Structure 1
Amino acid sequence: MTRQQFIGAIDQGTTSTRFVIFDKEGKLLTYHQMEFEQHYRHPGWVEHDPYDILASVDTCIEHAVRKLSLLGYDASSIQCVGITNQRETTIAWDSETGQPLCPAIVWSDNRTHHTVQDLASQEGHKQGVNAIHSICGLPLTTYFSAVKLKWMMDHEPAVKEAHENNRLQFGTIDTWLIYNLTGGVKNGGVLVTDVTNASRTMLMDINTLEWSQKAIDFFGFKGLRLAKIVPSSSVYGKIHSGSLKNIPISGCLGDQQSALVGQKCFKVGEAKNTYGTGCFMLFNTGDSPVISKNGLLTTVAYQLGTDKPMYALEGSIAVAGSSIQWLRDNLGIIKESKDIGTLAEKVEDTAGVYFVTAFSGLFAPYWRDDARGTICGLTQYTKCEHIARATLEAVCYQSRAILEAMNKDAGEPLRSLKVDGGVSNSDVCMQIQADILNIEVCRPQMRETTALGAAIAAGLAMGVWNSIEDLNDVNKDGRTVFKSKITDEKRETMYHGWKEAIKRSFGWADVVGDQDGV
C-alpha cells in the first residue's frame, strides 16, 4: 500500500449521499454515491427518515474506502473528513435515547404555510414576515429550520412531550451526522453545528454568531437543547467506528456555502451558482453582513478557524434538478435525468412555452409560498422537446431574477458566474444561462465542488493546506466558459414572457384550497 495524503468529504444531499476522496491537488480519486427514499405523505410534504440518512453515509464511506484500496491506497491515507449537507432540513430527537421523534422535515417542504402566517401575525410583532429579520437576516418563510421545528412542536405529540420534559434535541443534518459519527448517545457523541448551518435556522444572531435568546423566545422554544456553534474549519471529534475509525472530522459547511468555498470564491464580489435539487446563488460580501432590500437572504459564507467570518447574499430556487426528476418520474418524458439536454437540443426554442416550476412555492426574490407549478403557452404544436427546454429555461430565468437583485444590493454588476452541480453538466442549459444573463458562465472540469469545499475546510484545519493561498492550483485546469449567443432584443423578449408567466403562478395554493393534510 502506498502512503499518501488524502481528504474525505461526506456530501449529504437532498436525494442522495456520496463520500468523495480527494488528493491535495483537488483531484477526485474515487467516490461512492447512493440515493435514499423520499417520503411524500401529503401534497407539499417532503420527509426523510434520519436513520436512512445515517445509513447512507455509512454505506458510502465503506464502499468508497473499498474502491480506494483497489487503487492501492489504505484508509489511513485519509487524513481527515469534512461534511457538507442539505441545510434547513430539521431533525428532532430524544436527548436521552438518541432516537428521532418524527420524520425529518426537508428544506423544500411547505406544510408550514399556516405556521408562518401565525408567527407573522403574533401580537407585538408588527413587521410580519420580517419580525426577526434584523436578528437572523432571514424572513419568516416555510424554508427555515425554526419554522419546521415549531410545526413539529404543534403537531407531533412526541416532540411536544420531549420539549416539556427537557429531552428535546434539535439539529440540522450536520449536527445529526457529527453526533452519530462521533459516538452518538451511547459513546459521547459531539453536539456541534457550524456557523453556516446555524445561520439557516433563524435562531442565530447573524452579527454575534451566537444563539439569540430573542429568536428562541419568539418561536416559543424555551429550554430547547441547541448544539454548540463552531467554525466551518476546526477539529470537532473523531469517527467512532468503521473503516475511518479515529480519523478526525475537521470541516463542516452547509452545501451551498461549501460550493462557494469549493469554487474558491474567497474575494468580495465573487459568486457561484449551484444547480442541484434546488438552485442556489451566493455572492461573497466580505466580513460584514449585508441586509438585502431586494428579497435576498443574508447568510454566513464560511469561517475558517479563528479567522473572521465571511458573509454572503444568497438567492434560493426551490426547484431545479428536481423538476427534471419530475419529468422523468411523473411524466415519463425522459428515462434518465441526463437525457433532458439531448431532448431540449432538438428544438431551437420553447415555441412560447414557459414552465414555472413552483412545486412548493417560489423562493428568492419572489417569496410566494402561495405559488404553484404552471405551464403557460401550450398549443397543439407543443412537443415534449419544448417542455424539456422550458424546464431548463425555468432555472435560468429564476437565476437572472436573483442576479438582478444581487446587483442592486451589491451596487455593481457581476461580470462572470462560477457554476457547478448536476444540472451544470448540461451544455445546452449552461448556454441558455449565458444567453439569459449576458455574462460569462464558467464551469470547472471537476464539478464536485460542494464536496471539494468540505474537503478544503477539513484540510485547512489539519494543515493539509496552510492558507487559502495554497489553494490557487486546486481544480484550476479544464474550465469551460459559455458566452451569450443571442441579441439583447431576443433576451429581453424571452425574459418578459417569463415575468408574465410568474404572475400567473401566484395564488394557486389559495385557489385550490388547503391540501397540506393538516
Structure 2
Amino acid sequence: MKKKIRAIGISSLGETVFPVRKDGSSMAGLIWYNTITRETYEEFFSRVDPEWIFGRTGLRASWIFSIFKMMYYYHSFKEEMEGIETWLDVSSYIAYILTGDKRMDRCLASRTMLIDLKTGDWCEEILDIANIPKKHLPGIADSGIPRGTVKSDIALDLGLPRDVIVTTAGQDHMTASFPAGVFDLDKVLNSTGTTEAVLWGVDDDVLNIFLKNIIYDFNAGFHVVPHRYYLVDGLPTGGYCIEWFLRKVLRKDFEHLENVKMKTNTVYFFPFLRGIFSNMRAGASFLNLSDETDSDEMLISIIESLSFEVRSMIENLRNLGLEKDYKLIMVGGESLSELVVKIRSNVLGIPIHLLQTSEATTLGAALLAGLSAGLYKDHRDAFERGHRISKIVYPDRNLDYYEEKYQRYKKLKKELIDLQ
C-alpha cells in the first residue's frame, strides 16, 4: 500500500505557531485556545483600532490569533527569540520536517492577523506595531502546491517511495469545505468537532461587501481554493460541549446519543465552556432546571443550543447576500448522530446534506495532495471526483417549538453575556 502513495496532504488546526530555530529545532508552540496571551491582546488593542485591523486582515479582535502568541514569546523569552529563524504553522512545520521547505501555508497564515487580504503578503504596518521582525516571517505558499518530496532518510524509515510529494492543505475547517464544494456561493459548511464553525466560500465581490459591513464575529481569510476567500464564525466549544456532558457528567460514550429520544423541554444551555472568541470571560450555563429535569433534557438542550448558534451565524450571512435556497453541508463528529442532525435541520428549517464520509478534512487534504501530484486537472476536477452526498435529512413539518425557543434563546443569551 505504501508503495502506491503519490503525495501527502497536511491539514491542521489554526492559530498555533512554532518559533523555529536556525538549527531547525523548534520551541514549544501555544495551542490556539491558550489564554495566556490575554494581557498581550488587551494591551495591543488599547493602542490599535480594531476596525483598522479588520480592514487590513479581515479578522475581528480576538485573543486566539497567532500575532498575540508571537508577541508573548518576544516579550517573555527575549534571549531565546534572538536565535530563531522563522515562524511556522503546524502543517507547515510538519512539511518542513518532511521536506526542508520553510514556507507558511497561506490559508493558515490568514489566522495570524498579520496578512493583508488585499496583497496576500505580510502587513509591515502591523508587524511594526507588534514589534515582530519581518525577517522572522517566512515566505507564503498556497495550499495544494508541491512543497517538495519526502527526504530520503524519512522515506526509508517510513517505507515510502522517494518521490512522494508533500503539500499543505490549509486549516481543518477550510480543508473540509473543499470536498463539500463550499467555494461556490450557493453552499455553506457546518463543520463540527471540538469547535462549531459555519463557513461560506466567497469571491472578491462578496469579500469587499463584507469588509465594509459590521457583521460581528465573522472573520475572513484565504481559501484553499485559489481566488476564493472564506468567511467563518464559530464557537470555541461546539461538539466539545456534548462530549463534556457525556463523558464528565454522565460518564457515557458518544454512542449514548443513540438512546436519547427527541422531546420538547424548557431547559436552555449556553455553550460557552471556553468563552466566545470575542469575549473569553463568557461562561457556560444551564437555565430553567427543576427537580423534574432529567439528563436527556439537559443533553437535548445542549444540542439545541449549538443549533441555535449555527442558525444565528447563518442569519448573519444572509445579511451579506447568501441566497435563501442555499445548500447546507454538515461534516465532522456531530454529523454521525441522527439526533444532532435532525435537531439541527429542525432549528434551521432546511434539509441538511451529509457527505459520504464525516472526515471531510481528511478527504480535503487527500484531494489537495492529489492535485499537487498532478492527479487532477484542477480544483474543480478534484472536487467533482471526491464529492459524494450520502444522505439528506429533512426538517419536520411543525417547527413552532424550535422557532419560539430560538427567539427566546437569543434574548436570554444577550442578557447573559451582558452580565459577564
Determine if the TM-score, normalized by the shorter chain, exceeds 0.5.
Answer: yes
Which residue number in structure 1 is paired with residue 56 of structure 2? 135
What does residue 205 of structure 1 align with?
116
| 2:268 is aligned with 1:357 | no
The answer for unaligned runs of 5 or more in structure 2 is none
Of 248, 257, 281, 2:198 maps to: 281
In the TM superposition, what is the alpha-carbon distance from 1:138 to its structure 2 partner? 0.4
Q: Secondary structure at the match of 2:35?
A: coil
Change in CA separation of 1:248 and 1:133 when aligned onto 2, cut-off 3 Å = same
Pairing of 1:302-341 with structure 2 (within 5 A): 302-304=224-226, 309-331=227-249, 333-339=250-256, 341=257
Name the structure 1 match of 2:26. Answer: 99
Q: What amino acid maps onto 1:80 in structure 2?
A: A
TM-score, normalisation: structure 1: 0.74
Q: Give the whole-Å Cα distance in 1 for the aligned partners of 2:42 and 2:317.
A: 27
- Residue 32 (structure 2) pairs with residue 115 (structure 1): no
Pairwise CA distance, 1:149: 2.0
Q: Counterpart of 1:244? A: 160
Alignment of 1:33-182 (within 5 A): 73=1, 75-96=2-23, 98-100=25-27, 102=28, 104-122=29-47, 125=48, 127=49, 129-154=50-75, 156-157=76-77, 160-163=78-81, 165-167=82-84, 169-182=86-99
When the two structures are superposed, what TM-score results if normalisation uses the length of structure 2? 0.91
| C-alpha distance after superposition, 1:247-285 (max 9, x if no partner) | 110342111110111212232232211111101111111
**What letter is aligned with 2:184?**
K
Distance 1:479 1:97 in 2: 44
User: Shift of residue 140 of structure 1?
Assistant: 2.0
- 1:488 CA displacement: 4.7
Shift of 1:415: 2.5
Residue range with higher mean Cα deviation, 223-232 or 442-451:
223-232
Counterpart code for 1:120? F
Counterparts of 2:170 and 2:385, CA distance in 1: 19
Unmatched 5+ stretches in structure 1: 1-72, 183-188, 511-518
Query: Percent same amino acid at aligned positions?
Result: 22
CA distance in 2, matches of 1:377, 1:224: 55
Going from structure 1 to structure 2, the CA distance change for 1:411 and 1:430 (only over 3 Å counts) comes to: closer
Secondary structure of the residue aligned to 2:403 is helix
Alignment partners' CA distance in 1, 2:24 and 2:145: 28
Change (3 A) 1:469 1:175: closer
Shift of 1:486: 4.9
Q: 1:250, 1:476 → 2: CA distance?
A: 20
**Is residue 376–residue 501 contact of structure 1 (8 Å, CA) maintained in 2?**
no
Aligned residues of 2:165 and 2:372 also touching (Cα < 8 A):
no
Aligned mates of 1:328, 1:95 — CA distance in 2:
45
Q: Distance in 2 between matches of 1:329 and 1:95?
A: 43
Pick from 268, 281, 284: which aligns with 1:373? 284
Question: 1:348 corresponds to which letter in structure 2?
Answer: K
Higher mean alpha-carbon deviation, 476-485 vs 249-258, is at: 476-485
Helix, strand or coil for the counterpart of 1:451? helix
Aligned partners of 1:109 and 1:360 also within 8 Å: no
Does the 8 Å CA contact 2:145/2:167 hold for their aligned counterparts? yes
Quote the offset at 1:475 in angstroms.
Answer: 4.3
CA–CA distance in 2 between the matches of 1:258 and 1:132? 25
Offset at residue 176 of structure 1 (A): 1.6
Give the SS at the match of 1:265.
coil
The offset of 1:504, in angstroms, is 4.5
Higher relative contact order (CA 8 A, sep 6+): 2
1:202 Cα deviation from its structure 2 partner:
0.5
Distance 2:87 2:61 in 1: 19
Q: Which residue of 2 aligns with 1:262?
A: 179
Counterpart-to-counterpart distance in 2, 1:81 and 1:426: 30
Give the letter for the 2:182 counterpart: C
The one of 359, 370, 373 equivalent to 1:459 is 370
2:145·2:372 contact (CA, 8 Å) conserved in 1? yes
Partner of 1:346 in structure 2? 261
1:420 aligns with 2:341: no
Shift in Å, 1:105: 1.8
- Kept in 1, the 8 Å contact 2:191–2:198? The answer is yes
**Preserved contact between residue 268 and residue 285 of structure 1 (Cα < 8 Å):** yes
1:371 positional shift: 0.9
Tell me: CA distance 1:414–1:111, structure 2 relative to 1, closer, same or farther (3 Å): farther
User: What residue identity is the alignment partner of 1:96?
Assistant: D
Q: Structure 2 vs 1, CA of residues 415 and 269 (structure 1 numbering), >3 Å: closer, same or farther? A: closer
The C-alpha deviation readout for 1:449-505, integer Å capped at 9, x for no partner, is 111111111211221111234346534555211222153532321102321342344
Match of 1:441 in 2: 352
What CA distance in whole angstroms lies between the structure 1 residues aligned with 2:92 and 2:387? 32
Q: State the secondary structure of the residue aligned to 2:184.
A: coil
Q: Do the aligned partners of residues 352 and 111 (structure 1) sit closer, same or farther apart at CA in structure 2, a change above 3 Å counting?
A: farther
What residue is the counterpart of 1:29 in the other structure? none
Q: State whether residues 279 and 317 of structure 1, in contact with CA within 8 Å, keep that contact through their aligned partners in structure 2.
A: yes
Distance in structure 1 (CA, Å) of the matches to 2:72 and 2:248: 29
What's the CA shift for 1:435? Answer: 0.7
Contact kept, 8 Å, 2:7 with 2:372, in 1: the verdict is no
- 1:446 and 1:502 map into 2 onto residues whose CA distance is 34
Aligned counterparts of 1:370 and 1:130: Cα–Cα separation in 2: 22
Amino acid aligned to 1:83: I
Q: Is the 8 A contact 2:183 2:225 kept in 1?
A: no
Q: Is the 8 A contact 1:110 1:360 kept in 2?
A: no
**Greater CA deviation, 477-486 or 169-178?**
477-486
For 1:323, give the aligned amino acid: C
Q: Give the CA deviation at 1:400.
A: 0.7
- 8 Å CA contact retained: 1:172, 1:197: yes
Q: What is the letter of the counterpart of residue 261 of structure 2?
A: K
Give, in whole Å, the separation in 2 of the partners of 1:464 and 1:94. 35
Query: Secondary structure, in 3 states, of the residue corresponding to 1:175?
Result: helix
Q: Could you report, residue by residue, the CA deviation over 1:297-329 in whole angstroms, capped at 9, with x for unpaired residues? A: 11111244xxxx211211122111211221244
